[in-house]
């Protein structure tokens, strides 16, 4: 998992920054959240999902609640499909959605 700071959001286009100041641009959609993800929040994502040579890379990802039926069952924190969002108020655990 890599920790990325959200530095800019333009609709679904997220500009993310890691601790070494590397920039990542991804299209991210979040479903089932009580409150929208904001600039200066952090996401923890599998590094493979940032690697364009990884067969599961697509540059556009959807994430939702762990019990959502549109994703894999029983996603754990070390799975590629797991994502965590850290806001100033709470930690939110999500999984990648398909379909």
Q: What's the distance, Cα to Cα, between the start and end of the chain in Å? A: 24
User: Which residue shows structure tokens 């108020």?
Assistant: 89
pLDDT tens for the 99 residues of the chain, in order? 999 999 999 999 999 999 999 999 999 999 999 889 999 999 999 999 999 999 888 889 999 999 888 888 888 888 899 999 999 989 999 999 997
User: How, if at all, do strands 60-65 and 23-30 pair?
Assistant: parallel
Q: How is residue 78 written in tokens?
A: 């070390």
pTM, rounded to two decimals: 0.90
């Amino acid at each position: 998992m890599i920790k990325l700071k959200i530095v800019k959001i333009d609709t679904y286009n997220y500009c993310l920054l890691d601790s070494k100041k590397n920039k990542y641009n991804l299209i991210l959609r979040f479903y089932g959240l009580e409150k929208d993800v904001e600039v200066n929040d952090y996401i923890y994502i599998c590094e493979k999902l940032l690697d364009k040579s990884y067969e599961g890379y697509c540059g556009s990802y959807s994430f939702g609640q762990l019990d959502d039926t549109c994703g894999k069952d029983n996603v754990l924190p070390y799975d590629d499909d797991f994502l965590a969002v850290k806001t100033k108020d709470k930690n939110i655990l999500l999984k990648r959605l398909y379909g």
